[in-house]
Amino acid sequence: MSTAPPTLVRIHHVTKTFQRGAEEIHVLTDLELEVREAEFLALMGPSGSGKSTLLNLIGGLDRPTAGTVQIGQDRVDQLSDRELAAWRARHIGFVFQFYNLLPALTAERNVELPLLLTHLNKAGRRQHVKAALEAVGLSNRSKHYPRTLSGGEQQRVGIARAIVTDPTVLLCDEPTGDLDRKSGDEVLALLQILNQQHGKTIIMVTHDPHASARASRTVYLDKGQLSDKPAE
Amino acid sequence: MKFFPLVWAGLKRKKLRTVLTFLSIFVAFLLFAFLGAIKEALGGGVSMAGLDRLIVRHKVSLIQTLPESYKARIQGVAGVAAVSHQTWFGGIYQDPKNFFPNMPVEPELFLAMFPEFLVKDAEKQAWLNTRTGAIVGRTTADRFEWKIGDRIPLQAPIWGPPAGQTQWEFEIVGIYDGAKKGTDTSQFFFRYDYFEEARQREKGQVGWYTVRIANPDQAAAVAAKIDEEFANSPYETKTEPEGAFAQGFAQQIGDIASIVMAVVGAVFFTILLVAGNTMAQSVRERTEELGVLKALGFSNFLVLVLVLLESCSIAILGGCGGLGTAWLVISSGNPVPGLLPVFYLPADSLVAGVLLAVALGLVAGVLPAWQAMRLRIAEALRRGG
């Protein structure tokens, strides 16, 4: 009898409210979500439904107005700014829709960025960068600047940067949103490999049912509430 | 050190803007160094002045002369250790453009009074043995390629020619060097006894006295006593420390230090605005990138330091580049030896320049760095997206 993997991400009674002038905007309301280790979760929903806000809360980029966010043993909502920065460096890998590579750095220098926050020496960092670029199939493009890479290649560099520190969770915000179908498929295949072969926990925000089909589970967010089925 | 590529990447992101900012800072510090050298040249007498020396001059003005007979009376004032006099000769060598200070002095007393003028013993002896002998500073000797034994003709519009001659003529018997870097080695000194005998007017009059006092702490009291000695006489005196005298001399063409500081201040303020604006613009353009760095785990403080490092790097590169270039140019020689007796970049100006470059980097970068530090990640990424 196989036991289910333990829960890694616990979102409990989370509410997020933004203030716009005198108006209060309730983006997330009393939200509950659990993600198990090595799960590939797709988070879908219409624009403005709060998907990215939820991802930001899980990644420690923002704080909930109420409720708790726990990743592993860490209560993310209770960490100070400084502790959060160190926690992100250790536990979170981000993949952004528009890649967000630094244009003045080569692919390998971009991938090296999170490693600058570790105690690795230059040789150690180089070894990790090489392994990450190999994992995304771009070892031959390591010296290239982002402007000389295609969109798909840039996103793969972005994924290499996200996995280079071997983070606990990979958070992907519309990773195929700016790519053509072929490049998008390549990126999704790569994420699937990271999940299935390397056991990486992935939470992916997407609009695209084709992308969510690659995930092991899909949840839908609408009007600040989560459900297992899309809203009618 | 491992963050250097990140700082460098920020600088080369907009190469043209970085180069133009670098050049503006470079030029500002080049100007700073040249103004520092000119300020030192014009006011150098003040810093080189002896603390134990007083200058006694006519109370009305420096160009009024004093009787030579005052020497003995000054010598008699309590606290005075030695007295020597000098007189402005204003001799012209070939052309008024070839200006250098020239004065008749009493060789032995003069050299004892001014130990910063270094003359070899044999040359000093030759000067004592040669009535028309003169010693000249290394700068002027090099400038006109004079050597020992050369005979130098000078026109003297103030004093006229010596009796029976059309011009004054002196024989170079020695070339003096300066004991310190800022010592004026552009001057030309000849013997007062020859001058006194040959001049046809104002015999028995000298320009001013230099007085060595036994105790520098008593300078004010001794100066007051000397002036009291000659009060209510036809030649009342004004006695002041040599530094104040040199400063008064320099101030005849304006308050140089104030002018220099005003110019440097205006230039620096402008450069500060330019550099500050550049850094602020650079940070604004990179809001999204800074947001990404923070998302990756860079702390607020680290982002602040990186922006400040970027700002300081360009300020220090530009500043040290300007200072270094100025130092090379200034060290290669005095472009106007007739106008500026000494011309060098003082070490304290160099140090002040480097400190100013660091300060410029910090001041220009502090506001953008503060903004970068306070940047909210989600907001920064939203703006980028």
Same domain, B37 and B76: no
Q: Which amino acid is at B33?
A: A
Instruction: Report the first-to-last Cα separation within chain A, whole angstroms.
Output: 38
Question: What is the interface pTM, i.e. ipTM, of the complex?
Answer: 0.91
Whole-angstrom distance, CA of residue B135 vs CA of residue B168: 15
* Nearest-CB residue to B295 (from A81, A88, A109): A88
The predicted pLDDT at position B31 comes to 86
Residues 288-307 of B with CB under 8 A from A: 288-289, 292-302
The predicted pLDDT at position B45 comes to 55
- Whether the CB of B2 is below 8 Å from some CB of chain A: the reply is yes
Q: Which residue of B has its CA nearest to A174?
A: B385
Q: Which residue of A has its CA nearest to B10?
A: A104
- Whether the CB of B384 is below 8 Å from some CB of chain A: the reply is yes
Contact at CB, B296 and A117, closer than 8 angstroms: yes
Contacts of B5 in chain A (CB under 8 A): 105, 109
Mind listing the pLDDT tens digit of every residue in chain A (232 residues)?
567 789 999 999 999 998 888 888 888 999 999 999 999 999 999 888 889 899 999 999 999 999 999 999 999 999 999 999 999 999 999 999 888 999 989 999 999 999 999 999 999 999 999 999 999 999 999 999 999 999 999 999 999 999 999 999 999 999 998 888 888 999 999 999 999 998 999 999 998 899 999 999 999 998 888 888 876 6
* Mean pLDDT taken over chain B: 87
Taking the CB of residue B366, how many other CB atoms lie within 10 A of it? 16
Residue ranges of the alpha helices (H) in B233-299?
242-250, 256-285, 287-296
Which of B11, B373, B377 to mutate: most A Cβ within 10 Å? B377
Same domain, B187 and B110: yes
Same domain, B22 and B56: no
Q: Which residues contact residue B96 at a Cβ distance below 8 angstroms, ignoring those fewer than 6 apart?
A: none
Same domain, B247 and B260: no
Same domain, B328 and B261: yes
The predicted pLDDT at position B385 comes to 46
- Whether the CB of B5 is below 8 Å from some CB of chain A: the reply is yes
Same domain, B75 and B211: yes
Same domain, B81 and B226: yes
Contact at CB, A88 and B378, closer than 8 angstroms: no
Which of B285, B299, B310, B383 to mutate: most A Cβ within 10 Å? B299
Same domain, B338 and B367: yes
* Nearest-CB residue to B378 (from A56, A87, A122): A56
- What pLDDT band is residue B273 in, cutting at 50, 70 and 90? confident
- What pLDDT band is residue B256 in, cutting at 50, 70 and 90? low
Domain-embedded: residue A209:
yes
pLDDT for residue B321 is more than 80: yes
Which of A94, A108, A112, A174 to mutate: most B Cβ within 10 Å? A94
pLDDT for residue B6 is more than 70: yes
The predicted pLDDT at position B351 comes to 94
Q: Which amino acid is at B80?
A: V
Same domain, B221 and B75: yes
Same domain, B249 and B260: no
Core vs surface per residue A124-148: b (16+ CB within 10 A) or e = ebeebbeebbebbebbebbebbbee
Residue ranges of the alpha helices (H) in A22-139?
51-58, 81-91, 107-112, 122-135
Domain-embedded: residue A23:
no
Whole-angstrom distance, CA of residue B27 vs CA of residue B342: 23
- What pLDDT band is residue B253 in, cutting at 50, 70 and 90? low
Residue in this structure with the two tokens 């949103």, named with its chain if needed: A177
Residue in this structure with the two tokens 């050369």, named with its chain if needed: B150
- Give the CATH number of the domain where residue A176 resides: 3.40.50.300
Residue B82 DSSP label = E
Q: Which among B222, B253, B284 is the end of a domain?
A: B253
| Cα A8 to Cα A64, A70, A169, B19, distances in angstroms | 18, 8, 9, 50
Handedness of CA B345, B347, B352, B354 (dihedral sign): positive
> Which of A165-179, B224-238, B326-340 has the least mean pLDDT?
B326-340
- Phi and psi angles of residue B43, each rounded to the nearest 5 degrees, phi first: -105, 10
- What pLDDT band is residue B48 in, cutting at 50, 70 and 90? low
Core vs surface per residue B304-333: b (16+ CB within 10 A) or e = bbbbbbbbbbbbbbbbbbbbbebbeebeee
The predicted pLDDT at position B127 comes to 95
Taking the CB of residue B1, how many other CB atoms lie within 10 A of it? 5
What's the predicted TM-score (pTM) here?
A: 0.70
Contact at CB, A61 and B378, closer than 8 angstroms: yes
> Which of B17-31, B95-109, B204-218, B253-267 has the least mean pLDDT?
B253-267
E strand or H helix that includes residue A16: strand A7-20
Domain-embedded: residue A11:
no
Query: How many domains does chain B divide into?
Result: 2
Whole-angstrom distance, CA of residue B123 vs CA of residue B116: 16
Query: How many domains does chain A divide into?
Result: 1
Which residue range forms the structural domain that includes residue A204?
37-63+79-226
* Nearest-CB residue to A86 (from B3, B6, B297): B297
Taking the CB of residue B261, how many other CB atoms lie within 10 A of it? 13
Whole-angstrom distance, CA of residue A205 vs CA of residue A212: 9
B168: alpha, beta or left, given left = phi > 0 and alpha = psi -120 to 50? beta
B250-266 mean pLDDT: 70
Contacts of A161 in chain B (CB under 8 A): 296
Same domain, B38 and B171: no
The predicted pLDDT at position A113 comes to 95
- Whether the CB of B1 is below 8 Å from some CB of chain A: the reply is no
E strand or H helix that includes residue B110: helix B107-113
| Cα B49 to Cα A166, B177, B184, distances in angstroms | 70, 16, 11
Q: Which among B221, B253, B285 is the end of a domain?
A: B253
- Whether the CB of B10 is below 8 Å from some CB of chain A: the reply is yes
- What pLDDT band is residue B251 in, cutting at 50, 70 and 90? low
Which residue range forms the structural domain that includes residue B202?
50-253
Same domain, B266 and B136: no
- Higher local confidence (pLDDT), B366 or B333: B366
- In DSSP notation, A159-206 reads HHHHHTT--SEEEEESTTTTS-HHHHHHHHHHHHHHHHTT--EEEEE-
Domain-embedded: residue A83:
yes
